[in-house]
Structure 1
C-alpha cells in the first residue's frame, strides 16, 4: 500500500513538473519575438557605435576610413573632454544632492499631512509634466538680463547681474532648473516607499519613547533606503543624458561653463559632424552610466 502511494505521488510530481515545463516553454516562445526585437533595437546600435569609434567620418562624400585608435587618442587627449566631465561631476553631484534633500523632505512632509495629500501631490508634480525644452525656455526668459522677472527682482535689491551670461552663475542656474523640474519625481518615488511602510516598527518606536528625529534616523530612513536608491538610479541615468535645458538656455556657454559631457557629445557629433569622436564620447558615457548603475544595484543588494 505504501509502495503504491509512493508511485502515485511520484507520477503526480512528474506530471506537475512536465506541466510546469510545458507552461514555461510556451511563455518562453511567446517572449521570443519581443526579445529579438529588443535585441535588434539595442544591440545593433551598440555594435555600430563601436564600429564608428574606429572610423573617420570627417571626409565628406566618401566612405569612412579605418583609423584604428585615432579617435580614442584624439578624444582622451583633448582637454575639453576632461573639463566637460569635470563640469558633469559638479552638475550631477550638486543636482542629485539637492533633489535628494528636497525630494525626501517634501515626501516626508506630504506623508505626515492629515488631509489633502492628493491635492498637494498633484500640484507638486506639475513641473515633471513640463517638457525639458519648455523648462529651458522658462529659465531663459525668467533669467534674461533685459526683461527677465528674476533680473528685475535683483535690480530692486540693487544687484546688477547677468545670471546666464556669467561664468560664475550660469551653472548654478542650470542646476536649479533641473532641480525645479525633477525633484517632484524623487518625491513621488519616496512617497510610494513611505506609504508601503508597515506601521509596526513605528508603533514599537513610539512605545520605546523615541522622538521623531530618532524614528526618522533609525526607523524610517533605513526602511526606505532602497526606495531612495531607486530614485537616485533613475535620476542619475537621466541627468547624464538630458541636455535640453542647457541647449535652450545657454548653449554650453558662457565660455563653455555649462558644457557638460552630454552637450559636448551632441556638439561633436552633430555640429562638427565628427561621428567617430562622437562615438567614442558616447561609449565613455555608456561606461560611466553602467558603473553608476552597478554601484546603486550593489548598494541595494548590500542593504537587502
Structure 2
C-alpha cells in the first residue's frame, strides 16, 4: 500500500516537472502572443470611450458611453446583425452538411482518397480576395459563364445576381461554401479514420446496414469532431469580409452588409474609430461567447466518454 502511494507521488512530481518545463518552453511565444493581442484590445476599449477626430491633427474628445448608447439605438447596426445571423446560419449549415457528405463519400474510396482529397481542398489555398474576383467574373452580368448557363435555363434573365437584394446574399454564401467546405470535410475525414473498426464489424454481424451504422454509430461517435469543425468555422464566418467587399461591398441596399463590413466602413471610410471599436468589441464578445459554448460542449462530451 505504501509503495503504491509513493509511486503515485513520484509520478505526480514527475508530471509537475514536465508541465513546468513545457511552460518554460512556451513562455517566449506566449509573451509575444500576449503583447500583440492585449495591447490592441486595450487600445480598442479605450478608443470606444472617445469621439474619434474627423481630420488629422484634431484631438479626440472623451464622450463616455455615448458610442455604446448609439450602437444600441442604431437601426443600421441591428440590420447588420440580422444579415450576419442569416448568413451565419445558412452558410454554416450548408458547409457542415456538404462537409459531412463529402467526407463520407471520400471514406468509401480507400485507394483514391489521397488524390481526391487533394483536389477537393484546392479552393482553401486561394486567397479570399482571389475567390471573390473569380466568382465575380463567373456571375458577371455580361460575360459570366454561370450567368450564361442560368439564362439558358430560364433563370435570372431580368436581374443581376450580385445586384439584386434577393440573390446577392445567397451568391455570397455559395462563394464562401465553395472555399471552406473542404476544411470541414478534412476535419471529418480525420475523425472517420480514428473510429474503431471493431464497432463496425460488430454492427455488421448484428445485421446493421450502412444507414443504420451511419445514424447510430458514425454520427454519434463524430460529435466531438463535428463540434471542433463548427468552432473553427464559426470564428471564421463571423469575421468574414474579403469576398463580400470584392463583390458587393455590402450592397445592394445593405442586403449583404454584415457587421464586419459596417465596422470597416465606420473605421476606414468615415474615420469614426471610436464607434468602430464599439462594434468590433461587440463582435468579439459574441465570438467569445460562442467559442465558450462549443468548448463547454467538448468538455461535457469528453467527460461522458
RMSD over aligned Cα atoms: 2.2
Aligned residue pairs: how many? 299
Q: For the Cα contact (< 8 Å) 2:54–2:272, is it kept in 1?
A: no
Runs of 5+ consecutive residues of structure 1 not aligned to the other structure = 1-5
Q: Distance in 2 between matches of 1:16 and 1:192?
A: 32
2:34 to 39, 58, 74: 39
Q: Distance in 2 between matches of 1:271 and 1:235?
A: 28
1:209 Cα shift?
0.8
Greater shift, 69-78 or 103-112, is seen at 69-78
Spell out the pairing of 1:273-284 with structure 2 (5 A cutoff): 273-284=271-282
Residue number in structure 1 paired with 2:104 = 108
Residue deviations 1:199-248 (CA, integer Å, cap 9, x gap) = 01111111111111111011000111110110111011001112100000
Residue number in structure 2 paired with 1:296 = 294
1:135 to 108, 114, 131: 131
Q: Distance in 1 between matches of 2:25 and 2:113?
A: 42
Q: Distance in 1 between matches of 2:111 and 2:233?
A: 29
Q: Distance in 2 between matches of 1:273 and 1:216?
A: 53
Residue deviations 1:91-113 (CA, integer Å, cap 9, x gap) = 01000000011110010000012
Residue number in structure 1 paired with 2:120 = 124
Runs of 5+ consecutive residues of structure 2 not aligned to the other structure = none
Residue number in structure 2 paired with 1:73 = 69
Residue number in structure 2 paired with 1:3 = none
1:282 Cα shift?
0.5
Q: For the Cα contact (< 8 Å) 1:151–1:161, is it kept in 2?
A: no
Q: Distance in 2 between matches of 1:113 and 1:225?
A: 23
Spell out the pairing of 1:1-304 with structure 2 (5 A cutoff): 24-60=19-55, 61-158=57-154, 159-304=157-302
1:10 Cα shift?
9.7
Residue deviations 1:253-291 (CA, integer Å, cap 9, x gap) = 111110001111111111111100000001110011011
